[in-house]
Amino acid sequence: MTSLDGRRLRAVAEVQGGDVGPQTEFEYAEREDGVIHARYAGGAVRLGFLVGTRAGDTLRFRYAQLLEDGRTATGHCESRIEELPDGRLRLHETWAWDSQEGSGTSVVEELP
């Protein structure tokens, strides 16, 4: 499976119940031992970080973010990686808040 290291992704739509949207950009880093992390910002998110692991085409991680209004939020997510015909990556995400009520799904795609 193709590495996420150095790839930039964005949500394809506003995320119902979440703070991420098409203005939010994620930049991923991946180590050979399956450790994955990303920094993200944009839209309602001033600054966010995720950290976790990869096994095959599955990512499992926790995230923490600072919102533009000064609030903080945390949660966890499991994502499935899909490689698109043009070589870009798409992540199908199932997430849930730890710091508040709510959960949902989202899709992020690699920028062309």
Per-residue pLDDT band for 16 (boundaries 50, 70, 90) equals: confident
Which residue reads 């730890």 in tokens?
A: 98
Check residue 105 and give its pLDDT.
96
Q: How is the chain split into domains, by residue range?
A: 8-104
What pLDDT is attached to residue 1? 73
- Closest to 39 (Cα-Cα) out of 14, 59, 66: 66
- Per-residue confidence (pLDDT) for residue 27, from 0 to 100: 98
Could you report the per-residue pLDDT of 79-108, keeping only the tens digit for each?
A: 999 999 999 999 999 999 999 999 999 999
State how far the Cα of 12 lies from the Cα of 74, in Å rounded to an integer. 21
Residue 111 has a pLDDT of: 96
**Which of 83 and 1 is assigned the larger pLDDT?**
83
- Percentage of the chain beyond pLDDT 90 is 96
**pLDDT on residue 38:** 98
For the segment 55-70, the average pLDDT, to the nearest whole number, is 97
